[in-house]
């Protein structure tokens, strides 16, 4: 099998047009038509079928469209591998899977360090999803690393970056913002990022053990969207303290330090063992550790958008 056909296949599946795929690759249309014919023979499938004035993917092609970009990325990674890594001269791209809450914290620190040491290195940040977490052992083969809390994954290389803790986010005009007791928290509707009832890591399981039965009204895969879903309502939310510090002053929310322990949140870097001996990846891990130390050195107590904050004992700091 000619591996060059993989490039043609990806372009054809993405563009759904022989003409556009040829333009994308800088090839002639007859060349792409020949490639399509060879691919059809190999897969014993039409792949692209004309419907009116356009082409649609066959069911097999739809499945291929999900895996072909990953295969291309892995092939590209193989041929770019070098015996050593020289950061100041390197032309390289690393892909990290992160939540939106990591972008203004860890990712910003990492990006600044990369620019300082390796101006030719690029970082690509992809968004964490439930599917990625559940299939992390498979997906981590196709990226360089992921930033996820300890407790979500196992049996993979990992590096602890920094610690955080959960805080409760409420509307600034919600009486809970002035009380924050267990009885006040019980019974309110909750906005919970990345909630999954099958994952024991969730802080809601800890709440349940403490007698707080959280009624999950909505879930989201975006931490930074939480204040928009809470302001002006009776909803409550749980987010990491370092994320809550990034909520804008005009968000109309307040941060309440919950009056009980929800445990320490340890944010960590995870990767597939295939990267262990890669010099470029080793450099990335060293830089990630430095970025984690920078984040850890920042004040973890959240300043609230509502103009006040609560400590664990319920006293308002001056």
For residue 302, name the pLDDT band (cuts at 50, 70, 90).
very low
What is the three-class DSSP state of 162? Answer: strand
Per the model's pLDDT, the better-predicted residue between 80 and 36 turns out to be 36
pLDDT of residue 287: 97
Strand 215-220, strand 189-193: pairing: parallel
In this structure, the answer to whether residues 53 and 116 fall within a common structural domain is no
**Which tokens hold the place of 254?**
């307040």
Determine how many CB atoms are found less than 10 A away from the CB of residue 68: 19
Choosing from 42, 68, 94, the residue where a domain stops is 68
Instruction: Tell me how far apart the alpha carbons of residues 13 and 27 are, in angstroms, rounded to a whole number.
Output: 16
In this structure, the answer to whether residues 150 and 241 fall within a common structural domain is yes
User: Chain-centre distance of CA 208, in angstroms?
Assistant: 27
In this structure, the answer to whether residues 63 and 165 fall within a common structural domain is no
pTM exceeding the 0.85 threshold for the entire prediction: no
Give how many domains the chain has, as a whole number. 2
Residue 16 lies in domain: 4-68
Residue 73 lies in a domain: no
For residue 161, name the pLDDT band (cuts at 50, 70, 90).
very high
> Which residues does residue 173 pair with via DSSP β-bridges, in sequence order?
none
Instruction: Tell me how far apart the alpha carbons of residues 165 and 151 are, in angstroms, rounded to a whole number.
Output: 14
Choosing from 68, 95, 111, the residue where a domain stops is 68
In the chain, the N- to C-terminal Cα span, in Å, equals 70
In this structure, the answer to whether residues 129 and 245 fall within a common structural domain is yes
In this structure, the answer to whether residues 92 and 235 fall within a common structural domain is yes
- The answer to whether the CB of 136 falls within 8 A of the CB of 153 is yes
* In the predicted structure, residue 86 carries a pLDDT above the cut 60: yes
The pLDDT mean for the chain works out to 83
């Amino acid at each position: 099998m000619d591996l060059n056909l993989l490039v043609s296949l990806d372009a054809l599946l993405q563009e759904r047009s022989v003409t556009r795929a040829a333009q994308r690759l800088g090839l002639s249309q007859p060349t792409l038509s020949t490639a399509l014919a060879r691919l059809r023979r190999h897969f014993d499938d039409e792949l692209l079928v004309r419907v009116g004035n356009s082409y649609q993917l066959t069911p097999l092609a739809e499945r291929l469209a999900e895996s072909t970009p990953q295969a291309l990325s892995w092939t590209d990674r193989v041929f770019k591998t070098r015996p050593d890594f020289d950061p100041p001269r390197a032309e390289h791209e690393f892909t990290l899977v992160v939540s939106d809450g990591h972008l203004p914290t860890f990712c910003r620190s990492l990006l600044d360090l990369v620019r300082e040491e390796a101006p030719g290195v690029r970082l690509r940040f992809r968004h964490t999803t439930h599917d990625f977490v559940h299939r992390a052992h498979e997906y981590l083969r196709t990226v360089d690393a992921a930033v996820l809390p300890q407790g979500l994954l196992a049996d993979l290389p990992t590096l602890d970056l920094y610690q955080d803790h959960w805080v409760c986010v409420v509307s600034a005009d919600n009486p809970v913002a002035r009380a924050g007791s267990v009885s006040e928290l019980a019974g309110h509707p909750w906005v919970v990022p990345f909630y999954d009832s099958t994952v024991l890591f969730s802080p809601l399981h800890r709440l349940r053990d403490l007698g707080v039965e959280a009624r999950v009204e909505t879930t989201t895969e975006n931490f930074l969207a939480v204040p928009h879903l809470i302001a002006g309502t009776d909803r409550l939310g749980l987010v990491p303290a370092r994320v809550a510090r990034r909520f804008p002053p005009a968000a109309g929310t307040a941060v309440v330090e919950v009056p009980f322990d929800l445990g320490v949140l340890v944010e960590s870097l995870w990767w597939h063992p295939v990267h262990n001996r890669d010099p470029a990846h080793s450099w990335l891990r060293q830089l990630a550790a430095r970025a984690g130390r920078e984040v850890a050195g920042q004040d973890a107590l959240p300043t609230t958008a509502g103009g006040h904050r609560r400590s664990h004992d319920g006293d308002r700091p001056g």
